[in-house]
Amino acid sequence: GIQVEQSPPDLILQEGANSTLRCNFSDSVNNLQWFHQNPWGQLINLFYIPSGTKQNGRLSATTVATERYSLLYISSSQTTDSGVYFCAVDDKIIFGKGTRLHILP
Amino acid sequence: DTEVTQTPKHLVMGMTNKKSLKCEQHMGHRAMYWYKQKAKKPPELMFVYSYEKLSINESVPSRFSPECPNSSLLNLHLHALQPEDSALYLCASSQGRTLAGGFSDTQYFGPGTRLTVL
């Protein structure tokens, strides 16, 4: 099956900093999503982005399907951005292990 | 309304109990999903319903029994669970499906049911 690798596994940043999270996948995919899971467990869909670039406020994402990776950019981090960021791919919605982000005030 | 609701929020049950988890959405979505998530791990897909028919079963033990009574409602019936089944159970929905029965667009997740099996 498809392997999904996310990096870095952990990230600690000061409020206001920018960050880039990466998702690599081992085979071509028709679907890719980025999620944020808050400390209470709620998963929020950030982007559905099988290819191309999308932006939503301080967040943007780019997927280069031919090179099998996706990037999530977070600018001007806020403490509410803390949590785990997952990418999920393929018809069977395979999740990566996530990047745990902690924003310090 | 982009909300998926799940009840109960918390559930504690013994290994001999029978209980059910409930999930509801009113977005007109035709694909619904159950996931299991252990602490500090990613969600793992259990079942997918597409147009009220079971389209994916990820080799889940028979002590978990899904049911989709209508396009808005998804249940997960639990019986004779083991302590290792303790986890966060998440429900999700999406508008479309692929030929394989999986998702084809944005998924919306409920808040989950935190299950403890004693």
Q: Name beta bridge partners: A10.
A: A100
The DSSP code sequence of B26-57 is -S---EEEEEEE-TTS--EEEEEEETTEEEEE
Gap from A98 CA to chain B (nearest CA, Å)? 7
Residue B99 confidence (pLDDT): 54
A93 touches chain B (CB under 8 A): yes
A72-83 tens-digit pLDDT: 999 999 999 999
Lowest mean pLDDT among A6-15, B2-11, B100-109: B100-109
CB contact under 8 A, A91 and B111: no
Q: Which of A30, A43, A88 sits opposite B90 (nearest CB)?
A: A43
| End-to-end Cα distance, chain B | 36
CB contact under 8 A, B102 and A93: yes
A44 touches chain B (CB under 8 A): yes
CB contact under 8 A, A97 and B105: no
A97 touches chain B (CB under 8 A): yes
Q: Which of B37, B56, B109 sits opposite A92 (nearest CB)?
A: B56
Gap from A38 CA to chain B (nearest CA, Å)? 10
A2-29 tens-digit pLDDT: 899 999 999 999 999 999 999 999 998 8
A31 touches chain B (CB under 8 A): yes
CB B59 within 8 A of CB B45: no
Q: Which of A33, A40, A41 sits opposite B107 (nearest CB)?
A: A33
* Residue in the structure block whose two tokens are 């280069």: A64
Residues of A in contact with B88 (CB under 8 A): 41
Residue A47 is inside which H or E element, if any? strand A43-48
CB contact under 8 A, B112 and A42: yes
Distance CA A78, CA B25 (A): 31
B9-52 tens-digit pLDDT: 999 999 989 999 999 999 989 899 999 999 999 999 999 998 89
